[in-house]
Chains A and B, each alone.
Chain A
């Protein structure tokens, strides 16, 4: 079964540094997402991306965050200047269509970001 892959599985960075989290969505999917989960808390929506542009973003997704689809396969999340509170598990997801019963989200196995 095709799957969403994320790299790296764990990223440690110092406060103020830039990080790029990488994702390869399922190849025939058109909608891409980033979610995050702070340890012990619920999964939170960050951003959705379709047709090479952001379709929706949450209040968490401020100017420090950006997403890009640099080629036909990768989907990246960049955090420009990391803060301690950015430490979390970041999940990439993709779906064939938008959010419908026939097109559920497929999540990657996540990148654990630790900001020190």
Chain B
């Protein structure tokens, strides 16, 4: 039973492209949602929290659909430096335990 499911990719896009990642989660009691970024063999780094009303941070937009238990991340005007694995992360039952998806790999090429 997968708790947080993501398309592993890879998504190969040219610089300047817009790319979207999706994620589904199984626990309807989850209250906190995040997108983390992980570079190869490095630690996860918080990209952005995902709020119920949706939120934007520069080129990044996150959306949450609680009814469908679905989270999305949109990256506009992709940069080479955006190449990384994007992790969808959900807390378990409003606890301190975070559940990570396996990640979606993005490769931006010149």
Contact = CB atoms under 8 A, between A and B. Distances in A.
Interface in B47-74: 49, 51
Given A41-B102, A43-B87, A101-B32, A58 B43 contact: no
B51 A107 contact: no
Interface residues of A, number: 26
A99 B95 contact: yes
Interface centre among A43, A44, A45, A100 (most CB of B within 10 A): A43
A110 interface: yes
A53 to B, nearest CB: 13
A13 to B, nearest CB: 19
Interface of B: 32, 34, 38, 41-46, 49, 51, 87, 91, 95-103
27 contacts: A35-B98, A42-B100, A42-B102, A42-B103, A43-B38, A43-B44, A43-B100, A44-B100, A45-B98, A48-B97, A55-B96, A56-B95, A56-B96, A58-B97, A89-B41, A91-B43, A98-B96, A99-B32, A99-B97, A101-B51, A104-B49, A106-B46, A107-B44, A108-B43, A109-B42, A109-B43, A110-B42
